[in-house]
Amino acid sequence: MDRIPVPAVLKDLSRIFTAQGYQVYLVGGAVRDYFLGKKAEDWDIATDAKAEEVATLFKRIIPTGIEHGTVTIPFRGHMIECTTFRIETGYTDSRHPDLVSFTATITEDLSRRDFTMNAIAAALPTGEIVDPFDGRKDITKRIIRTVGDPHTRFSEDGLRPLRAIRFSAQTGFTIEGPTLEAISPSIPIIKTVARERIRDELSKLLTSDNPLPALYYLEQTGLLEHLIGELSMCRGVFQGGRHRHDVLDHLFYTCVYCPSASLELRLAGLFHDIGKPVALAFDTEGNPTFHGHETVSASITEKIMTRLKFPGKTIKAVCHLIRQHMFHYESVWTDAAVRRFIVRTGEDEIERLFALRRADSRAISDIAEEGADIQELRERIIGILKQGHAFTLKDLAINGHDLTSQGVPRGPVTGVILEELMQAVLDDPSLNNRERLLDISRAMCIERKLI
């Protein structure tokens, strides 16, 4: 196939270039995704027109990275990234090319791109393919291969090895021999890459359909040890009991069995038992135990995710799921215990915690269905939530002002009393009326000699 179909929007856009004698090509992910049979998410185009010249062709452009020849063109509801043909030379810091030189041909531009499957262009408006590095052949062979010598290409930009592994997760492709072999020697260069860029690649890897082979690539190349050494420490930590896997394999599988749509769940799956090597002890029969590992796991996870510059909100959500993952529901739980579970977990996080549990159990026993215990707990939670009782301090029939007006001194003690009242109401929702709570709080204050 030497031509690909071109959407009308792109044809119309490209004619604005070609009418002025410029060349213009669709490049990068969009062309690759066409050959992968996937719908492209966004369009990148390359042209021999300089950024200033592109600016004269359109009413409005956004100067995204003028010094690198990149502008964004808003066109009929699309944001199209347009870059002047260029080559990059002299990567003294392995991150940013010292010199960007513009060049006249698409083939030269394609030669600076990372992998053969990302170095295919389609001329616009015709859709005619330019594929000087046999990207299509590699796509057919389902392999990821650098354009040119992998050692050189990885030494220019330490992010590329990680991109190779990320693309393998997204495509299910194998990283071909020499490209894979060049990853370990590139670790010193990878160390110079900005953490945010690493975080973004890891996030794409983890939210792909099947990250499992990519996780093993990370381990096998030594990248895992470099990026998340705390995970490598889980290799060879055996768990006994029903577990088929050591801790690291268990984490990999739990991660993969979490729904791909949620980065937070995938991260929680990957890290939920990471504290086990630290919490490891042995009982009198010599079996391993991991008491309190959920707390250790949450604190290790917080360190890792902070180091990798994840947003605070993501870190908080992941650590919360990890801290709560060890609940053991039994039918004998009282309604008060179920109410406490709802409060502890947070109403909005319950289904995610159950998803983590499903993945965790499946990684242990290979059974994908949800346990009857969780189904029962869910039914009870639904029933209890329907009753509309108080679950947070905001729902209590009295507040801090009511306490101070009774003579309770302002300060932390008010919070302590409200918290105790909350616990009493979770035990017995019928206590949640103003008179009863004022009575109880008065009794508490007298007992503590506060009034």
Phi then psi for residue 221, to 5 deg, are -85, -10
Please choose, out of 152-160, 242-250, 377-385, 434-442, the segment that lies near ligand ATP by the rule CB under 6 A.
152-160
* Amino acid identity at 336: A
Binding mask 190-229 for ligand ATP (x = CB under 6 A): ----------------------------------------
Give yes or no for residue 118 binding Mg ion (CB under 5 A). no
Nearest to 25 by CA among 36, 17, 33, 37: 17
Give yes or no for residue 28 binding ligand ATP (CB under 6 A). yes
Locate tokens 């729902």: which residue? Answer: 395
Picked from Mg ion, ligand ATP, none, the partner binding residue 339 (CB below 5 to 8 A depending on kind) is none
Shortest spacing between CB 265 and Mg ion, in angstroms: 25
Shortest spacing between CB 59 and ligand ATP, in angstroms: 25
Shortest spacing between CB 196 and Mg ion, in angstroms: 17
Taking CB under 6 A as the criterion, the residue among 26, 54, 75, 114 binding ligand ATP is 114
Picked from ligand ATP, Mg ion, none, the partner binding residue 118 (CB below 5 to 8 A depending on kind) is ligand ATP
**How many residues belong to the chain?**
451
Q: Which of residues 188-247 bind Mg ion (CB under 5 A)?
A: none
Shortest spacing between CB 377 and ligand ATP, in angstroms: 39
Nearer to Mg ion, 27 or 300 (CB): 27
Nearer to ligand ATP, 160 or 358 (CB): 160
| Cβ neighbours, 10 Å, residue 344 | 13
Annotate 108-128 with b (16+ C-beta within 10 A) or e (fewer): ebbebbbbbbbbbbbbbbebe
Phi-psi category of residue 282: left, alpha or beta, with phi > 0 → left and psi -120 to 50 → alpha: beta
Give yes or no for residue 150 binding ligand ATP (CB under 6 A). no
* Residue number closest to ligand ATP, CB atom: 29
Q: Tokens in use for 9?
A: 């929007």
* Residue number closest to Mg ion, CB atom: 29
Shortest spacing between CB 42 and Mg ion, in angstroms: 6
Taking CB under 5 A as the criterion, the residue among 6, 10, 24, 29 binding Mg ion is 29
Locate tokens 């004698």: which residue? Answer: 21
CA distance 424 to 428: 6
CA distance 113 to 120: 9
Nearer to ligand ATP, 119 or 202 (CB): 119
Picked from ligand ATP, Mg ion, none, the partner binding residue 157 (CB below 5 to 8 A depending on kind) is ligand ATP
- At residue 45, the 3 state secondary structure works out as strand
CA distance 260 to 255: 9
Shortest spacing between CB 40 and Mg ion, in angstroms: 8
Please choose, out of 71-79, 114-122, 237-245, 289-297, the segment that lies near ligand ATP by the rule CB under 6 A.
114-122
CA distance 227 to 203: 13
Binding mask 40-79 for ligand ATP (x = CB under 6 A): ----x-----------------------------------
Burial of 26 from C-beta contacts in 10 A (0-12 / 13-18 / 19+)? buried
CA distance 264 to 166: 18
Cis peptide before 125 (omega within 30 of 0): yes
Q: Which of residues 153-172 bind ligand ATP (CB under 6 A)?
A: 157, 159-160
Locate tokens 């990821």: which residue? Answer: 144
Q: Tokens in use for 77?
A: 């509801």
Residues in touch with ligand ATP (CB under 6 A): 28-29, 44, 113-114, 118-119, 157, 159-160
Residues in touch with Mg ion (CB under 5 A): 29
